[in-house]
Structure 1
Amino acid sequence: MAKVTIWNEYLHELKDEEVKAVYPEGIHVALAEGLKQDGREIGTATLAEPEHGLTQEVLDQTDVLIWWGHMGHDQVEDEIVNRVHQRVLDGMGLIVLHSGHCAKIFNKLMGTQTCRLKWREAGEKERLWVVDPTHPITEGISEYIELEQEEMYGEHFDVPTPDELIFISWFTGGEVFRSGLTYKRGKGKIFYFRPGHETYPTYYNKEVLKVISNAIEWAKPLEARELIYGNTEPLEKL
């Protein structure tokens, strides 16, 4: 089974009573509890820990890193971002959740795009439509996932054209959003999954957890040959 590290900045839960009421031990703990039923080895890390809990040793032992951040993006040290970036290029999977679209690591992996979007916090219904029912990330999910209350994200989402589009969301206010996107960078696989605002109990939803669980299996590294670059001797006689 994949070894998973769940990173959460863990700031809202300590400062906001409304968030603390939903996630009393933190979003990272709720996710770990919801995902451990699949028998995985799961660790957690937070912003306040030394090296944000993402030491080289931790990352070297991580097959898939899950990332949730919001109000502390600028507090993540560039040295740690570069460390995570290299691990993704080397094959570690990365799952970026909700407001992680503004995380330094996601922006670095996406390139020149701003990763900006429209948003509105009004407790709207979100319906996440499966647009690729053959993809392993959607295994066990019906035509759509319906969340009674979520923060709205709307297009245009300023990210590179994804390798694969898995989900599209519709909100009560009328907006739509590309809510499940995959990318490959180096040897690593990346999945961005939209739902998960801190004031709503989204990460207790069994279908949301199923998608994240499926994404872990999809994103975990494969045994791949060492890639060769640079000046190379010919295979045939010149």
Structure 2
Amino acid sequence: MRIHVVAALAAVLVGALWGTEANAQRTVVVWSEGTAPKAVYPNDINGAVAEGLKCLDGWEIIKANLSDPDQGLSDERLNQCDVLVWWGHTKHGAVKDALVEKIVRRVRDEGMGFVALHSAHFAKPNIALMSLSETSKDLLDKVTPKGRVAAWGAYVGDSVTLTIVVKNPAHPIAKGVKDFTIKHTERYSDPYAVPTPKTIVFEGDAKLKDGSIDHSVVGLCWEIGKGKMFYFQAGHETDPVFFDANVRKIIANAVEWAAPRK
């Protein structure tokens, strides 16, 4: 009888411990620089993205901004962060190099996930992470500015819409997502000068004002050391992209995919 009681108590204890670990709260920090137009994003882009992440169960969602103390990422906050989502546009150069080094270390050495959005392709952390592996010289010769890692072939405000096509429906980031179209007035044209991605999850067709179509990659994944990284091309600040239900689903999926296993 005593053996059965002890075994039962042990099973309850193990179950409780397992449940605590399985349900442990994780943290996503959504960072932006505070330059999006208020008419489109009254709470800035990090506010819109954070709102879209409320669907995630068991996650603490923190908004961070360039103007915050420690540029929004103190050592304590960065060390508790499981996934960092980043949008930037005109103030890339204001981000401190020391902070960039810490972000790279957290991703590469400690497994923090990193999600870069639209014009964050030129953000210092994105360039630093993409510079850890080799990019084809052929790609670097075809982008603007020439030779720059994480640059695109062109950046032109001549598009009307962007149709996002699911290229890899089996990938976790594509879960629950079908092809969809959003208003998008700035196109990024291939090639994208980055190391070969592990997976291309989404591609896109920008419809231009003259009626022609410009095809490009839209969602790409990498594994960088111990960390995972996702770049999503859509997200021009004058368009309400981050209020779109499909885009929010993609970012939420990306956060869960990029999170390190506890």
Residue 74 of structure 2 corresponds to residue 74 of structure 1: no
Amino acid at match of 2:170: T
Residue 135 of structure 2 corresponds to residue 134 of structure 1: no
How far 1:145 sits from its partner (Å)?
A: 2.1
TM-score (norm 1): 0.87
> Which of the two has higher C-alpha Rg?
2
Residues 183, 241 of structure 2: 8 Å contact kept: no
Residue 198 of structure 2 corresponds to residue 178 of structure 1: no
Moved over 3 A (4+): none
Residue 55 of structure 2 corresponds to residue 37 of structure 1: yes
Q: Distance in 2 between matches of 1:76 and 1:84?
A: 11
Amino acid at match of 1:175: D
TM-score (norm 2): 0.79
Tell me, what secondary structure is at the counterpart of 1:155? strand
Moved more, 70-79 or 1-10: 1-10
Residues 137, 214 of structure 1: 8 Å contact kept: yes
Which residue in 1 is equivalent to 2:28? 4
Tell me, what secondary structure is at the counterpart of 1:156? strand
Residues 159, 207 of structure 2: 8 Å contact kept: no
Amino acid at match of 2:125: I
Residues 150, 196 of structure 1: 8 Å contact kept: no
How far 1:162 sits from its partner (Å)?
A: 0.4
- Map 1:164-203 to 2 at 5 A: 164-173=199-208, 174-203=213-242
5+ residue gaps in structure 2?
A: 1-24, 136-148
Residue 45 of structure 2 corresponds to residue 27 of structure 1: yes
Which residue in 2 is equivalent to 1:102? 122
Q: Distance in 2 between matches of 1:27 and 1:83?
A: 23
5+ residue gaps in structure 1?
A: 14-18, 224-238
Aligned sequence identity (%): 39
How far 1:2 sits from its partner (Å)?
A: 3.0
Q: Distance in 2 between matches of 1:195 and 1:53?
A: 24
Tell me, what secondary structure is at the counterpart of 1:134? coil
How far 1:80 sits from its partner (Å)?
A: 0.4
Which residue in 1 is equivalent to 2:192? 157
Residues 183, 239 of structure 2: 8 Å contact kept: no
Moved more, 45-54 or 111-120: 111-120
How far 1:123 sits from its partner (Å)?
A: 4.6
Moved more, 100-109 or 39-48: 39-48
Q: Distance in 1 between matches of 2:40 and 2:55?
A: 20
Moved more, 189-198 or 46-55: 46-55
Q: CA offsets per residue over residues 144-189 of structure 1, 9 Å max, x none? A: 1211334211111111110111011111132111111001111100
How far 1:94 sits from its partner (Å)?
A: 0.4
Amino acid at match of 2:174: T
Give the alignment's Cα RMSD to 1 decimal: 1.3
Q: Distance in 2 between matches of 1:24 and 1:123?
A: 24
